[in-house]
A and B are shown apart, each in its own frame.
Chain A
């Protein structure tokens, strides 16, 4: 695919911990095209954040190790790049927004100093130019009075404003790929709505590709074109957002959608919780990692890990779309079921 900007192939990452070796990411593959938003969805420990850190070259040895796989950015394998070359891509071509804006900004430097650092290094702007650019960026992300705000320190900004600064920083070199790890989780819903709107606007304008890491299926439904659901370090189902929500085909995706209440009242009176606990990745279950919690499990699910296979089409009029890793056919159309709620 010529317009694929980022291609992750069979990525595996492990960490050494007190409890033993944890296989945090296990054979994950996906592609990301220009102008597209891919949602990487999963609960804590599913491996979604580690995947993003691996792409940014931030899995730190000796504790963390990429044991297998390739990460292509425009046909160059980031994992084989010399450090200096990686530094030219990180921040410039691929930028990241972290979840917590309070801990990811340096409290001793003004917002302006942190914003201009990137453009001075990557775009080789002079001090004056960089400052003008930074003011423009702050204005762009909706910070009022940017000429004054640029000389203030992070503590003088509210949580929502800090997250805007982080986004301004990530976007200041106009990256082609933006990786956003739970960018709105720490924010209130009205501020979250502003931020998501901003992402979509900037994407339309700049054609940026976005990898959005989140646990919030509502946010996914709002901004993602495609979704990959992760469980126990693996992608268990992936499809276009429409197809995935309309006809989930992995028991975990199904369980996740059945376990979240909706504020519009289209929830059945009983929430169907997924029984049991997420797997301990230092001692993962045999076979399919979801089998201990799966209501549909077969005997072979305890032995064999199901491979990713093509999903069924949502209905007769649409072509099949996406993949799922499950031996059982649990597919059903959700639309018919929620309406009586």
Chain B
């Protein structure tokens, strides 16, 4: 393996494993109408910054189209960022070529949402799990198989199933295969994109518990992407709330859930049901008007302005920036003084 280029440079605090600065991912699309054509840009991710410390879980939540999955894909190199920087342990990754990126892939792995679509149906589970080692050219075939047995045991899969095929496994077991494959290279960070949302409720809990146990055992960090707020509350140490390609609020899980500051976070939480009829009846709900606007235009002001219950005229003129220290909020109407008091 190539030794990573050393030197922290200006890569921020040495404690953060991953640092993302002003990440933008814009996709071109053909604007075609009968009187006018041209190229438009879908601003899927529009200036996202965050850090992930070693061994911690950062949750990214938001509704469909908010850019959370595109952010994840840009980090692991599945989508090229339009601009911005991605730093891993002091090395800048976003401009590396495919081959230069390869050694870093050991350190960042990904788990996908759909355990039915993300495993090759023609490979045995053992081969699927050991494939990252084979691609990296690590060890002999026998070594790799031993490694596969080791991680299968780690994720609670019976190593006797080494030579079985994905279709012989249930959804929960398949997701364990995905986790084993992500862990075989001993990564520092695993990007989990909706890892439990395709699973039945009773199986979800098994996989969430497993991910948490593995973090304790291995010290791996997670970037955990999900739309289910309850799951994120349970697994994440810190949470970033995304809306229309930006992070609108970022802070410790406890702060975000017990005293949300951004009007979108507040609306999102108030819309999320609780499995408790007595509480559910007494809750005040903020029902947002309309839907998330299309991310194909630049907004002169706050992207949430059209749906915001506390919007003012100044919100439509000035783009709010994420501000604050431990707790960051991008809203002109949330004063920084109220945040520092926490």
Chain A interface residues toward B at CB < 8 A: 43-44, 144, 158-161, 188-194, 196-197, 215-222, 241-242, 245-246, 255-257, 259-265, 267, 270-275, 277-278
20 contacts between A and B (CB under 8 A): A44-B200, A144-B290, A161-B291, A189-B63, A190-B287, A191-B63, A193-B270, A217-B201, A218-B274, A221-B276, A260-B201, A261-B234, A263-B230, A263-B233, A265-B254, A267-B230, A267-B234, A273-B202, A273-B205, A277-B172
Asked if B2 lies at the interface with its beta carbon under 8 angstroms from chain A, I say no
B275 with A191: CB separation less than 8 A: no
> Which of B96-104, B140-148, B277-285 faces chain A?
B277-285
Nearest CB in chain A to that of B273: its residue: A218
The verdict on A261 contacting B274 (CB below 8 Å), with A158-B291, A188-B63, A278-B202 known, is no
B63 and A263 within 8 A (CB): no
Q: Is the interface of B mostly helix, strand, loop or mixed?
A: helix
| A191-B291, A273-B205 as given contacts; A221 in contact with B275, CB under 8 Å | yes
CA distance A207 to B238 in the complex (A): 45
A264 with B205, Cβ < 8 A, contacts A190-B268, A221-B280 known: no
Partner of A262, one of B206, B233, B271: B233
Bound complex: CA A264 to CA B256 (Å): 11
Asked whether, in the complex, the Cβ of A217 is within 8 Å of the Cβ of B275, the reply is yes
Q: A188-B64, A194-B287, A260-B205 are in contact. Are A271 and B234 (CB under 8 A)?
A: yes
B288 at the interface (CB under 8 A from A): yes
CA A260 to CA B206, docked complex, whole Å: 10
Starting from the known contacts A263-B274, A274-B206, 6 additional A-B residue pairs (CB-CB under 8 Å) come to A189-B268, A217-B201, A259-B205, A270-B209, A275-B206, A278-B202
User: Which B residues touch A256, using CB under 8 A?
Assistant: 201-202
Interface centre among A246, A255, A278, by most chain B C-beta atoms within 10 angstroms, is A278
Task: Let me know if A261 and B230 touch, CB within 8 A.
Answer: yes
CB 8 Å contact bits of B221-233 with A (1 = contact, 0 = none): 0000001011111
Query: Taking the complex as formed, is B269 at the interface, i.e. its CB lies under 8 A from any CB of chain A?
Result: yes
Q: What chain A residues lie within 8 Å of B234 (beta carbons)?
A: 261, 267, 271
Whether A261 lies near B64 (C-beta < 8 A) is: no
Contacts of A222 on B, CB cut-off 8 Å? Answer: 273, 277, 280
Contact call A43/B272, Cβ cutoff below 8 A? no
Determine whether B257 belongs to the interface, using a CB cutoff of 8 Å to chain A.
yes
Q: Report A-chain residues with C-beta under 8 Å of the C-beta of B233.
A: 261-265, 267
- Find B271's partner among A193, A215, A264 (CB 8 Å cutoff): A193
With A161-B291, A190-B271, A260-B275: A265-B257 Cβ-Cβ less than 8 Å: yes
Contacts of B257 in A (CB 8 A): 263-265
Bound state CA distance, A191 and B288, in angstroms?
8
Residues of B within 8 A of A241 (CB): 277
Contact residue range for chain B? 35 or more
CB closest residue in chain A, given B172? A277
Note all chain B residues with C-beta closer than 8 A to A259. Answer: 201-202, 204-205
Chain B residue with minimal CB distance to A246? B278
Are B280 and A263 closer than 8 Å at their CB atoms?
A: no
B112-129: CB near A (< 8 Å → 1, else 0) gives 000000000000000000
Cα–Cα distance between A220 and B277 once the two chains are bound (Å): 8
| Contact status B201-A221, CB under 8 Å | no
Name A264's contact: one of B201, B274, B288 (CB within 8 Å). B274
Q: Is the CB of A43 within 8 A of B277?
A: no
- From the candidates A144, A257, A263, name the one contacting B272 in the complex (CB within 8 A): A263
CB neighbours (8 Å) of B277 from chain A are 221-222, 241-242, 245
Q: How far is the CA of A43 from the CA of B205 in the complex (A)?
A: 13
For residue A72, give the distance in angstroms from its CB to the closest CB of chain B.
28
Q: Which residues of B contact A158 (CB under 8 A)?
A: 291
In chain B, positions 174-229 with a C-beta closer than 8 Å to chain A are: 200-206, 208-209, 227, 229
- Are the C-beta atoms of A262 and B230 separated by less than 8 Å? yes
Chain B residues near A194 (CB-CB < 8 A): 287-288
Q: Which residue of B lies closest to A144 (CB)?
A: B290
Q: Which of A43, A192, A193 contacts B201 (CB 8 A)?
A: A43
Q: Is residue B158 within 8 Å, beta carbon to beta carbon, of the partner chain?
A: no
Select which of B202, B204, B227, B232 is within 8 A of A188 by beta carbon. Answer: B227
* Contacting residue for A245 out of B201, B206, B269, B275, CB 8 A: B275
* Residues on A with beta carbons closer than 8 Å to the beta carbon of B208: 261, 271
> What's the least CB distance linking B305 to chain A, in Å?
16
Q: Which residues of A contact B280 (CB under 8 A)?
A: 218, 221-222
> What residues of B have a CB within 8 angstroms of the CB of A189 in the complex?
63, 227, 229, 268, 271-272
B258 located at the interface, meaning its Cβ lies under 8 Å from any Cβ of chain A in the complex = yes
Complex: A242 Cα to B277 Cα, angstroms: 6
The residues of A that contact B273 with a CB separation of less than 8 Å are: 192, 196, 216, 218-219, 221-222
Interface residue from A160, A245, A260, A271 paired with B291 (Cβ < 8 Å) = A160
> Which B residues are in CB contact (< 8 Å) with A277?
170, 172, 203
Q: In the complex, how many angstroms separate the beta carbon of B188 from the nearest chain A beta carbon?
A: 25
Give CA–CA (A190, B291) in the complex, Å: 8
With a cutoff of 8 Å between Cβ atoms, the chain A residues found around residue B276 in the complex are 221, 245, 262
B272 neighbours in A (Cβ, 8 Å)? 189, 218, 263
Q: Within the assembled complex, what's the spacing in Å between the Cα atoms of A216 and B271?
A: 14
Whether A193 contacts B202 by the Cβ 8 Å rule is no
Q: Compute how far the CA of A43 lies from the CA of B204 in the bound complex, rounded to whole angstroms.
A: 11
Greatest chain B CB density within 10 A among A222, A275, A278 is at A222
Residues of chain B contacted by A219 (CB below 8 angstroms): 273
Let me know if A263 and B269 touch, CB within 8 A.
yes
